[in-house]
Amino acid sequence: MGGAAAAGTWKLGDLEVNRIGYGAMRLTGNGMMGNSDGTPIDRDAAVGLLHSAFEQGVNHIDTAAFYFSPLRSANELINRALSSWTGEVVVATKVGPARDPAGEWLTTVRPDQLRGQVEENLRQLGRDHLDVVNLRCGGPRTASIGELFGALAELRQAGLIRHLGLSAVRPEHVAEALTIAPVVCVQNSYGLDWRRADESGLVDLCGERGIAFVPFFAVSGLRREAAAGQEHDERVRSVARAHHATPAQVRLAWTLHRGPHVLAIPGTTNPVHLAENIAAGGLRLTEEDLAVLNKPVSSAT
């Protein structure tokens, strides 16, 4: 078994997906900040890249209506790719604090505004319902997470959303949301260099409750939205050399080894990097590898 299926599968509610997916943030520059003034990605090239991901077994895409630059929208590119693809692909999007049409961040959101955000995603993606909607909880709020999640639960009951998830949360937020409606996934920043979700117990909580944990910035780590840079961590480089793998593949494999409920959504516009990211699902780290990677940086250099 190769391609994205090599890492196994997990269920988002009733939707079974391969654990290696694709994050669409970088399709428009990087979709959030910086790079947006560069040359926009060619639409045909973007559709070709997405089709290549699907051909290699990727059946889970992460996106958001606020992933856009002046001339490109990630959702629009995904819509184009899916309209000419016959296979099943699960699309997970996000609502909550977002960006206005000019790209400025709107840091607060009210429960009554979420329906408009859901409908915006429906229009852009060309769908009559959304597979998974994650409530993005970062930043200041004028309403509680319970109120916001409750509004999404009503839209789920109305048939606009199939499954609900959370993004940028703490364990208590997951517990609160679970009293309102089922949670199929939790997205948080997490990787070898940023393990707050381990310290808080969030990764383990998700595993205990059968919830997918979906790290973002698993490869870029503390660089976050910035373009990939040279790997400086000798722990990662030594394990990569031993497996004839790239450092990015080692970082992805490390997160996938964290538990069978952990997914990966690396993003790229480079076809070679796409293939490498997908191949990381087949990289099996040994206990010795994990011991090296889990050493404090100071004792590994």
Residues 111-166: tens digit of each pLDDT = 999 999 999 999 999 999 999 999 998 766 678 899 999 999 999 999 999 999 99
pLDDT for residue 30 is more than 60: no
Q: How far apart (Å, rounded) are the C-alpha atoms in residues 253 and 273?
A: 15
pLDDT of residue 284: 94
Q: Are 91 and 132 in contact (CB under 8 A)?
A: yes
Q: How far apart (Å, rounded) are the C-alpha atoms in residues 225 and 253?
A: 20
pLDDT of residue 41: 84
Pairing outcome for strands 161-167 and 185-189: parallel
For tokens 């260099």, what's the residue? Answer: 193
pLDDT for residue 229 is more than 70: no
pLDDT of residue 241: 93
CA nearest 3: which of 23, 24, 20?
20
Q: Which residues are catalytic?
A: 67
pLDDT for residue 46 is more than 60: yes
- The mean per-residue pLDDT over the stretch 175-186 comes to 97
Distance of CA 149 to the CA centre of its chain: 19
Strand boundaries in the chain, DSSP class E: 9-12, 15-18, 22-23, 60-62, 68-69, 72-73, 90-95, 98-99, 105-106, 130-136, 161-167, 185-189, 212-216
Mean pLDDT check: name the lowest of 61-75, 98-112, 114-128, 256-270: 98-112
* DSSP for residue 27: G
- The mean per-residue pLDDT over the stretch 44-55 comes to 96
Mind giving me the DSSP string for 219-240? TTGGGTTSPP-----HHHHHHH
pLDDT of residue 224: 45
When pLDDT is cut at 50, 70 and 90, the band that residue 228 belongs to is low
pLDDT of residue 37: 58
Q: How far apart (Å, rounded) are the C-alpha atoms in residues 32 and 268?
A: 14
